[in-house]
């Protein structure tokens, strides 16, 4: 396998509850390297762009409202097979269905407030990294 990059977002519920460090540790323990990190507030336009694939679905508005409700921590991660590895680390969307020890099983409040996002494919990773980090992405070595 070759080195990949992906995007991880620590969502508003986890940031507000002071879980950023604990969540980052899960990635570091799995030999996933953080190449860039920033805390930010997403504006509505950027959130709509980020969730564009869900536009028109009944949950689109709640996704946008939630992700713009408070600060997030966005990270570009890198490692061998990191897209798949990150998905394993975070667990299934619903905390009740997530494996023991995954971030969502440990920290999620609900299916909607599930504490963390990770790109679900190499294609999504490229699109999402560019959406959140835009011009900064070229500066990440």
Q: Which residues are tagged catalytic?
A: 117
Q: State the Cα–Cα distance between residues 115 and 61, nearest whole angstrom.
A: 18
Give the fold, CATH level 3, of 3-133.
Alpha-Beta Plaits (3.30.70)
Q: State the Cα–Cα distance between residues 86 and 42, nearest whole angstrom.
A: 22
pLDDT tens-digit readout, 12-70: 999 999 999 999 999 999 989 999 999 999 999 999 999 999 999 999 999 999 999 99
User: Model-level pTM?
Assistant: 0.93
Q: What is the mean pLDDT of residues 90-103?
A: 96
Which residues are within 8 A (CB) of 134 and not within 5 positions of it... i.e. 6 or more apart?
A: none
Q: What is the mean pLDDT of the chain?
A: 93
Show me where the domains of the chain are located.
Answer: 3-133
């Amino acid at each position: 396998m070759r080195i990949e990059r992906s995007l991880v977002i620590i969502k508003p519920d986890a940031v507000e509850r002071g879980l950023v460090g604990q969540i980052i540790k899960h990635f570091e323990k799995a030999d996933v390297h953080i190449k860039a990190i920033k805390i930010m507030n997403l504006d509505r336009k950027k959130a709509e762009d980020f969730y564009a694939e869900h536009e028109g679905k009944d949950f689109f508005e709640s996704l946008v409202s939630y992700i713009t409700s408070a600060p997030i921590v966005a990270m570009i991660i890198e490692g061998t097979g990191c897209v798949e590895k990150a998905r394993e680390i975070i667990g299934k969307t619903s905390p009740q269905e997530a494996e023991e020890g995954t971030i969502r099983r440990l920290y999620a409040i609900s299916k909607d407030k599930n504490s963390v996002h990770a790109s679900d494919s190499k294609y999504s990773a490229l699109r999402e990294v560019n959406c959140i980090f835009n011009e900064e992405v070229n500066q990440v070595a």
